[in-house]
A and B are shown apart, each in its own frame.
Chain A
Amino acid sequence: MAQPPYLALIAERFGAAVEDRGFGHGVQAFAAPPELIVDLCRFLKEHPDLRFNFLSDIAGVDTHPATPRYEAVYHLYSLPNKWRVRIKCRLGDPPHIPSVTGVWRTANWHEREAWDMYGIVFDGHPDLRRIYMWEGFEGFPQRKDFPLRGYKDELNPFGAEGPPPTKPDLATRNIP
């Protein structure tokens, strides 16, 4: 199988800023600085030889106690070429990264998930609300300093000592 052209094209366009992290399990991995993510994603999506037109997932990672602490991982797929690419961005604390909702509309919910679970702020996101936990929930449950069993209240007598969680509000509002 011929070498897919994305390595050479990315090196030509971005130089040493985007680092090659090797190929494994059918996925080519890159590491990129967060300020380049929108340019890199747009390049991968719109280049006629690449066409990474499907964003499979955006994952958050908490590498506590390492620094920089957070990481956003983008999984891309090229439907016409059947290639997979993974882009990793290390983020500081508090974590910030530009939103890629302008590149793929599906990024909207993926970024809301990463915000809900890890507290990663996606700058420029049109509607950055929680997606799994209810409005008014406090904390980011997938962070390593959040107790696995949550905090104790009457619904969860085995939780950790701490401020009891808020309750979901059942009032129906005009949701955009």
Chain B
Amino acid sequence: MGGLSGGMRDSVLFTTADSVISWGRRSALWPETFGIACCAIEMISAGCARYDLDRFGVVFRPSPRQSDVMIIAGTVTRKFAPIVRRLYDQMPEPRWTIAMGTCAISGGVYNTYAVVQGSETFVPVDVHVPGCPPRPEALMHGFLLLQEKIKRSRALAGTPLERAATRVAG
């Protein structure tokens, strides 16, 4: 790969396409509609009129097939962890995960035989929102962080388009 290929990847076409795609992705983050424990109450509150997640383009969807984001809002028990994993696997890529609340991050106070000690042990997590439970503002901040992460990631990295551009340049 020569010096030219980097120039090709960072060309006007690619940076413009990247920014358009990531703008589209981060402006319509559709989470799955499910909550596990008390954090879900704050998540519902964040989605309702007072905090209104809709204005960020965050609209709850009833099916994982239509979703981009999974909010793990609550204590994940060992019995429930495979079901959460299945919901993650059912989302089409690109997909992101927000671990909401202390229980989803680390198991929290439930350091017992029945509770998974952190969602990181069974799904990849992009944003951790601490709190017990986090206020709706904290969840909104988590979504803004996720948008920032998507903004800075290269949407075309690893795609056939990028590989073709590398071949042409190389």
Do A and B belong to a common assembly? yes
A-B contact count (CB 8 A): 46
In the complex formed, the residue of A with least CB distance to B121 is A155
Q: Is the CB of B117 within 8 A of A168?
A: no
Taken together as a complex, chains A and B put the C-alpha atoms of A10 and B122 apart, in Å, by: 56
A residues near B83, Cβ cutoff 8 Å: 170
Q: Is the CB of A148 within 8 A of B121?
A: no
Query: A15 interface residue, CB < 8 Å from B?
Result: no
Q: Is the CB of A149 within 8 A of B113?
A: yes
**Main DSSP-derived SS at the A contact region:** loop
**Distance between A60 CB and nearest chain B CB, rounded to angstroms:** 16
Taken together as a complex, chains A and B put the C-alpha atoms of A132 and B78 apart, in Å, by: 11
How many residues does chain B have at the interface if contact means C-beta atoms less than 8 Å apart?
Answer: 14
Name, among A148, A157, A168, the residue most crowded by chain B CB atoms within 10 Å (CB to CB): A168
Taken together as a complex, chains A and B put the C-alpha atoms of A155 and B79 apart, in Å, by: 11
Taken together as a complex, chains A and B put the C-alpha atoms of A132 and B83 apart, in Å, by: 16
Query: B105 interface residue, CB < 8 Å from A?
Result: no
**Distance between A146 CB and nearest chain B CB, rounded to angstroms:** 7
B residues near A133, Cβ cutoff 8 Å: 79, 114
In the complex formed, the residue of B with least CB distance to A159 is B113
Which A residues between 142 and 156 are near B, CB-CB below 8 angstroms? 146-151, 154-156
Which B residues between 73 and 132 are near A, CB-CB below 8 angstroms? 78-79, 81-83, 86, 111-114, 116-117, 121-122
Taken together as a complex, chains A and B put the C-alpha atoms of A70 and B8 apart, in Å, by: 75
Query: A173 interface residue, CB < 8 Å from B?
Result: no
A170-B86 in contact given A155-B116, A155-B117 (Cβ < 8 Å): yes
B residues near A141, Cβ cutoff 8 Å: 113-114
From A149, A157, A168, A170, contact of B112 by CB (8 A): A149
Query: A104 interface residue, CB < 8 Å from B?
Result: no
Q: Is the CB of B117 within 8 A of A158?
A: yes
A150-B113 in contact given A134-B79, A155-B122, A170-B86 (Cβ < 8 Å): yes
In the complex formed, the residue of A with least CB distance to B81 is A155
Query: A167 interface residue, CB < 8 Å from B?
Result: yes
In the complex formed, the residue of B with least CB distance to A166 is B78
In the complex formed, the residue of A with least CB distance to B85 is A170
From B78, B86, B117, contact of A157 by CB (8 A): B117
Q: Is the CB of A168 within 8 A of B82?
A: yes
Taken together as a complex, chains A and B put the C-alpha atoms of A157 and B116 apart, in Å, by: 9
B residues near A154, Cβ cutoff 8 Å: 121
Taken together as a complex, chains A and B put the C-alpha atoms of A75 and B78 apart, in Å, by: 30
Q: Is the CB of A148 within 8 A of B113?
A: yes
Query: A165 interface residue, CB < 8 Å from B?
Result: yes
Taken together as a complex, chains A and B put the C-alpha atoms of A155 and B114 apart, in Å, by: 10
Taken together as a complex, chains A and B put the C-alpha atoms of A159 and B111 apart, in Å, by: 9
The 5 listed contacts between A and B (C-beta, < 8 Å) are A133-B79, A134-B78, A149-B113, A156-B121, A170-B86
Chain A positions within 8 Å of B, measured between CB atoms, are 132-134, 141, 146-151, 154-159, 165, 167-168, 170
Beyond A155-B117, A168-B79, 17 additional contacts (C-beta under 8 Å) are A134-B78, A141-B114, A148-B111, A148-B112, A148-B113, A149-B113, A150-B114, A155-B78, A155-B116, A156-B113, A156-B116, A157-B121, A159-B113, A165-B78, A167-B82, A168-B78, A170-B83
